[in-house]
C-alpha cells in the first residue's frame, strides 16, 4: 500500500466513522424521543450500530497492522464461531478427539495455508481431508450412537465457521489483473456490502414490511425489507466500486449475488437455531447474539466472492 492508497484508506475509514456517528446520534435521538423507555425496534437498531462500531474498530486495527493481523483476526473469528456452533449441538465422549483436532489443529493450519498462499491445499484441506479424518477420529471410543450425525455436525461446523470464513483473508493473496490497488480494499468492499445489506433489510422491513419471507425460519424478514435492503446495498456496492476492479454493471451484479447468498446464509443459520430451539448463537456481543449471528451472511458470501474474483479477474 503506497502513501496515496494509505491516505485513501484513512479517508474511507473516517467516512465510515462519520456515517456511524450520524447513525448513533439518530439512534440516541429516537431513544430520547421515547424517554429512554424499552422499544424493541429502536433498541435493536442501536445494538446493531454499536456492533458496527466494534467491527469497524477491530477490522481497522487489523488492516493497519498488516496482513498477518488480518489473518489472525479471522482465525479468532473462526474459533469463536466454531465454539458457538458446537456448543448448541449435543456432544459425546467420542467427540472429544475430533473436536480437539478441529479447534487446535485445523483452525491454525487452515489459516497458515492462507498465510503461505497454498491455494491447492487450502481449498481441499477441510472439504476433503477433514471429511475423512473426523469420522476416523470419532472411532476412538467405539461409540456408535448417532455416529453419522455427530461426524456430520463437526464437519459442517468446520465448513461454515472455518473454511468459508477463511476465504475473507484469502482475498489478500489474489493477483487481480489490472487492479493496482491493495487487496484489503476487496475485504472492505465485501464486508461493507454484505453487512449493510443485513442492516438495510432490517430497517426497510420495519418501515415497509408487510409480507413475511420465511415466517417460521426468520419472522422478522419481509419481502419488502429484502427487496429494499438488497437494492440499497447494491447501490452502495456500485458507489464503492472504486475499491474493486469492477465496472458499474459488474459491481451491481456481484453485489446482488453477494446479497442473495448472504440472505440465504442467514436463513440457513436461522434454520439450525430453530432446530436447536434457541434465538441466538451466543452472547459474545452483549444483547445482540454471538459471533455467528453477525457473520452468518458472510459465511455464505465470502467463498462466492473469492472464487468470482479468482476465476474471472485473477491474473
Is the pLDDT at 31 greater than 90, yes or no?
no
More confident residue, 26 or 183: 183
The model's pLDDT over 153-182, given as tens digits with 9 standing for 90+, comes to 999 999 999 999 999 999 999 999 888 889
For 193-219, write each residue's pLDDT tens digit: 999 998 888 888 888 878 898 888 888
The pLDDT of residue 153: 92
Q: Give yes or no for residue 13 having a pLDDT over 90.
A: no
Q: How many domains does the chain have?
A: 1
What percent of the chain has a predicted confidence (pLDDT) above 90? 54
Write down the pTM of the prediction. 0.91
Percentages (nearest 5) of helix, strand, coil residues in the chain: 75, 5, 20
Condensed to tens digits (0 to 9), the pLDDT of residues 245-254 reads: 999 999 999 9
pLDDT beyond 60 at 62: yes
Distance CA 172, CA 27 (A): 35
In this predicted structure, which of 39-48, 216-225, 266-275 has the lowest mean pLDDT? 39-48
The count of other CB atoms within 10 Å of the CB of residue 254 is: 23
Residue position matching grid coordinates 456448543: 87
The span from the CA of 4 to the CA of 1, in Å, is: 8
The whole-number pLDDT of residue 50 equals: 82
CB of 113 within 8 A of CB of 129? no
CA–CA distance, 315 with 311 (Å, rounded to integer): 9
Instruction: State the pLDDT at residue 104.
Output: 96
In the predicted structure, residue 235 carries a pLDDT above the cut 90: yes
Predicted local distance difference test score (pLDDT) of residue 288 = 57
- Name the one residue in this structure whose C-alpha cell is 436461522: 270
What domain range includes position 42? 3-312
Q: What's the DSSP call for residue 245?
A: S
Average model confidence (pLDDT) across the chain: 89
pLDDT digits (tens, 9 = 90+) for 135-151: 999 998 888 888 998 99
- For the chain, the farthest-separated pair of C-alpha atoms sits apart, in whole angstroms, at 62
pLDDT in tens, 113-134: 999 999 999 999 999 999 999 9
User: pLDDT at position 125, please?
Assistant: 97
DSSP letter assigned to residue 89: S
Q: What pLDDT does 277 receive?
A: 80
Mean pLDDT, residues 99-121 taken together = 96
For residue 93, pLDDT beyond 90 = no
Predicted confidence at residue 254, as pLDDT, reads: 97
Amino acid at each position: 500500500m503506497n502513501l496515496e492508497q494509505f491516505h485513501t484508506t484513512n479517508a474511507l475509514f473516517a467516512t465510515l466513522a462519520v456515517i456511524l456517528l450520524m447513525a448513533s446520534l439518530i439512534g440516541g435521538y429516537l431513544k430520547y424521543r421515547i424517554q429512554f423507555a424499552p422499544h424493541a425496534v429502536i433498541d435493536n437498531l442501536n445494538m446493531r450500530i454499536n456492533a458496527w462500531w466494534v467491527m469497524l474498530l477491530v477490522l481497522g486495527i487489523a488492516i493497519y497492522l498488516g496482513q498477518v493481523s488480518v489473518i489472525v483476526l479471522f482465525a479468532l473469528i473462526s474459533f469463536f464461531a466454531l465454539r458457538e456452533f458446537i456448543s448448541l449441538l449435543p456432544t459425546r465422549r467420542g467427540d472429544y478427539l475430533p473436536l480437539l483436532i478441529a479447534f487446535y489443529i485445523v483452525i491454525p493450519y487452515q489459516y497458515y495455508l492462507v498465510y503461505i498462499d497454498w491455494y491447492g491445499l487450502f481449498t481441499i484441506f477441510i472439504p476433503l481431508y477433514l471429511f475423512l479424518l473426523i469420522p476416523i477420529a470419532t472411532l476412538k471410543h467405539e461409540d456408535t450412537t448417532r455416529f453419522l450425525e455427530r461426524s456430520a455436525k463437526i464437519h459442517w461446523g468446520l465448513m461454515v465457521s472455518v473454511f468459508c470464513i477463511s476465504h475473507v483473508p484469502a482475498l489478500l493473496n489474489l493477483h487481480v489483473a489490472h487492479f493496482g490497488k491493495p487487496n484489503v480494499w476487496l475485504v472492505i468492499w465485501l464486508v461493507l456490502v454484505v453487512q449493510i445489506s443485513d442492516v438495510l433489510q432490517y430497517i426497510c422491513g420495519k418501515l415497509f414490511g408487510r409480507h413475511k419471507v420465511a415466517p417460521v425460519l426468520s419472522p422478522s424478514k419481509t419481502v419488502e425489507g429484502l427487496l429494499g435492503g438488497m437494492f440499497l446495498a447494491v447501490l452502495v456496492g456500485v458507489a464503492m466500486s472504486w475499491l474493486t476492479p469492477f465496472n458499474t454493471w459488474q459491481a451491481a451484479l456481484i453485489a446482488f449475488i453477494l446479497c442473495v447468498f448472504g440472505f440465504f446464509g442467514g436463513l440457513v443459520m436461522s434454520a439450525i437455531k430453530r432446530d436447536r430451539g434457541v434465538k441466538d448463537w451466543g452472547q459474545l456481543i452483549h444483547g445482540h447474539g454471538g459471533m455467528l449471528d453477525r457473520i452468518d451472511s458472510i459465511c455464505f458470501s465470502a467463498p462466492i466472492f473469492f472464487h468470482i474474483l479468482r476465476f474471472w479477474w485473477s491474473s
